[in-house]
Amino acid sequence: MSALTHPARRRASRSVLWHVGALLVLALVLYPLFWVIGSSLKPSEDIVGGLELFPTQPVFEHYRKLYDGIADIPVSTFFVNSLVLAFGSVAGVLFSCSLAAYAFARIDFRGRNLLFSLMIGTLLLPYHVLIIPQYVLFQKMELINTYVPLLLGKYLATDAFFVFLMMQFMRNLPRELDEAARLDGCGHPRIYWHIMLPLSRPALITSSIFTFIWSWNDFLGPLLYLNEPDKYPVSMGLKMFIDQDSAADYGGMVAMSVLALLPVLAFFLAFQRYLVEGAATSGLKG
Amino acid sequence: MTDTQAAPAPSPPEERPAPRKAPAASGRRRARGENLAGYLFMSPWIVGFLLLTAGPMLASLYLAFTDYNLFDSPRFVGFENFTEMFSDPRWRKSVQVTTSYVLVGTPLKLAAALGVALLLNKPRRGQGFYRAAFYAPSLVGASVSIAIVWRALFSDDAVVDRSLQVFGVHVGGWIGDPDMVIYALVALTVWQFGAPMVIFLAGLQQVPRELYEAAQVDGASAWRRFRSITLPMISPVLFFNLLLETIHSFQIFASAYVVTNSKCGPADAGLVYTCYLYEQGWTNLRMGYASAMAWMLLVSVGLVTAVLFWSQRRWVHYEEDVR
């Protein structure tokens, strides 16, 4: 009996030790996120110097001040713009990347391997090689200050990462399904629409959430292409705060930052399994 | 996702022999139909590739040899942009800043990712919770919000400064200090170790348990087991992470731009390559020079990638039989 309890007790104490270690690392890692939430409830003068995470007397003035908007633009405008861009991006990725993924996974066309290599090549290509000529292109088409430059690529499957992710998933679906459908006289369009898309739902969800979050966080695109504040997404609205350069007024900035983080964190909490699994499968960018 | 492959080596879709049921004539027709369907399905991607990737690449290669301000037509100047670049002290500074960012940030980030992955590798209660929580920063790290948080945390007399003072270290704020600002950016990238960590975890799950059991029987120490089993077994995953993180580090922009208050300062200490590219292209409207810079970046990243691929023969261990 005692011979049994001894290793068990040692195991239990090691497990406690492990949890203590993991929680310490976790506290360090999540500190900035708690800090920003706590600071948005502090009076302005306590934000930078204060070491306590949450104020004893929370103040909501920073959020109340956001009601007045930033530089005469209501904060809701930025959020609506961000949502338009994010949902527009999701629709584009679902449409174009799933088509390409299906072709790579299930259609035996000539030159498939060449196109596949080109697609993988674009994954390793630094994006900044393209921004200047793309900008020139959109400028010549008089599309600066519209959302077209920010969305067009999503509808043309330029996000190779999602093509790859969906293709991996589709290739693992049993072939018997579409073989049977083909014998019944279904063509590729119907197989894609009625069989593959419904079955690929996990890959489509993962791609949608990543697309939403990346679009929501995107800063370089709007910075280059948008020059009217009422078209700005949240990321650029935040930048306007910085440009006002009132270094002392962290209050409004921090409150706005919290609002900007909320949708991403909500998505994360709701879909964390998809996100982590998706990142593990192909792990690009995170 | 149902399958968690450790290192998804992008393998081309497997060729499969066309089903030989029909006679040859209809087989050819079938092949033609397949080609048509394939190109139809691929058409958005093909248009995107030509219009937004291949076309712009060629265009920027041409622009790199011109003087172009976006309004007058481009004037061909030969190698002038490149000769100017090599004698431009600010360009050299941006190369130096970016290089130190990549060389310091990437190893630290991967070390943190591997360390925490090893910690989380044993199946325990709450494993999934920890894995998700550590992954969270990777989702928000590139956002302007977090860059603002970083600026606040690393400014004078703020949280980081005061915490270090507790240990008797007085460095002041990092953001306004030319020697320290790059480390604030490094800290931001290390903070996002969750993405490579998740990939490491997937790789660690693939290591056969019996190897460890055998080593344990032979009395190998924990360090020895890590050196001789874990590291070689996950080296493909390590390579994959190293490649991607390096390529991404070269392209840091938004966080540097915001953390340093859109100036990439102080005194150019935070002038990462893309920041300088943006300044030349969009502030000074020197699109030709910026294109030349972009191509230098592409060539450098290409070289680094080639070196990494060449080096993997020496240290990356691929299993003969993938289970």
- Give the per-residue pLDDT at B156: 83
For residues A243 and A259, give the distance between their C-alpha atoms in angstroms, rounded to a whole number. Answer: 19
Q: Which chain A residue has its CA at the smallest distance from B288's CA?
A: A132
> Which member of B38, B47, B253 has the closest CB to residue A112?
B38
Which residues in chain A land under pLDDT 50?
283-286
Longest CA span, chain A: 83
Contact between A250 and A39 under an 8 Å Cβ cutoff? The reply is yes
Query: CA dihedral in degrees (B220, B222, B226, B229; nearest 10)?
Result: 30
CB contact under 8 A, A158 and B55: no
- Give the per-residue pLDDT at A49: 72
Alpha helices per DSSP H over chain A: 2-39, 44-47, 61-66, 75-106, 112-123, 128-140, 148-155, 160-171, 175-183, 188-191, 197-199, 201-217, 220-225, 234-244, 250-282
Q: What is the least distance, in Å, from the CA of A73 to any CA of chain B?
A: 19
CB contact under 8 A, B119 and A18: yes
At residue B67, φ and ψ (nearest 5 deg) are -105, 120
For residues A113 and A92, give the distance between their C-alpha atoms in angstroms, rounded to a whole number. Answer: 24
Q: For chain B, say whether A14 makes contact (Cβ under 8 Å).
A: no
CB contact under 8 A, B8 and A104: no
Taking one residue from A and the other from B, the number of pairs with CB-CB distance under 8 angstroms is 322
- Collect all residues of chain A within an 8 Å Cβ-Cβ radius of residue B16: 108
| Positive/negative CA dihedral, B153, B158, B159, B160 | positive
Q: Which residues, other chains included, contact B145 with Cβ-Cβ below 8 Å and sequence gap of 6+?
A: A36, A238, A256, A257, A258, A260, A261
- Collect all residues of chain A within an 8 Å Cβ-Cβ radius of residue B297: 126, 128-129
Q: Which residues, other chains included, contact A11 with Cβ-Cβ below 8 Å and sequence gap of 6+?
A: none
Which residues in chain B land under pLDDT 50?
1-12, 14-24, 321-323
The residues in A 63-82 lying below 8 A from B, measured between CB atoms, are: none
Q: Which helix (H) or strand (E) holds A233?
A: none
- Collect all residues of chain A within an 8 Å Cβ-Cβ radius of residue B53: 122, 125, 130, 158
Q: How far is CA B262 from CA A47, A226, A228, B80, B129, in A?
A: 22, 17, 18, 29, 36
CB contact under 8 A, A100 and B41: yes
- Give the per-residue pLDDT at B317: 83
* Interface with B, mutate which of A16, A122, A131, A168 (most B CBs under 10 A): A131
* Interface with B, mutate which of A42, A53, A109, A275 (most B CBs under 10 A): A109
Q: Which residues, other chains included, contact A36 with Cβ-Cβ below 8 Å and sequence gap of 6+?
A: A254, A257, A258, A261, B145, B149
For residues B155 and B192, give the distance between their C-alpha atoms in angstroms, rounded to a whole number. Answer: 20
- Collect all residues of chain A within an 8 Å Cβ-Cβ radius of residue B60: 129-130, 132-133
Contact between B295 and B79 under an 8 Å Cβ cutoff? The reply is no
Q: Which residues, other chains included, contact B169 with Cβ-Cβ below 8 Å and sequence gap of 6+?
A: none
Q: For chain B, say whether A30 makes contact (Cβ under 8 Å).
A: yes
The residues in B 253-292 lying below 8 A from A, measured between CB atoms, are: 253-254, 257-258, 261-262, 274, 277, 281-282, 287, 290-291
Contact between A57 and A247 under an 8 Å Cβ cutoff? The reply is no
CB contact under 8 A, A128 and B158: no
Q: For chain A, say whether B158 makes contact (Cβ under 8 Å).
A: yes
Dig out the tokens for B136 from the structure: 């969270």
Q: What is the least distance, in Å, from the CA of A213 to any CA of chain B?
A: 7
For residues A162 and A154, give the distance between their C-alpha atoms in angstroms, rounded to a whole number. Answer: 10
- Give the per-residue pLDDT at A253: 87
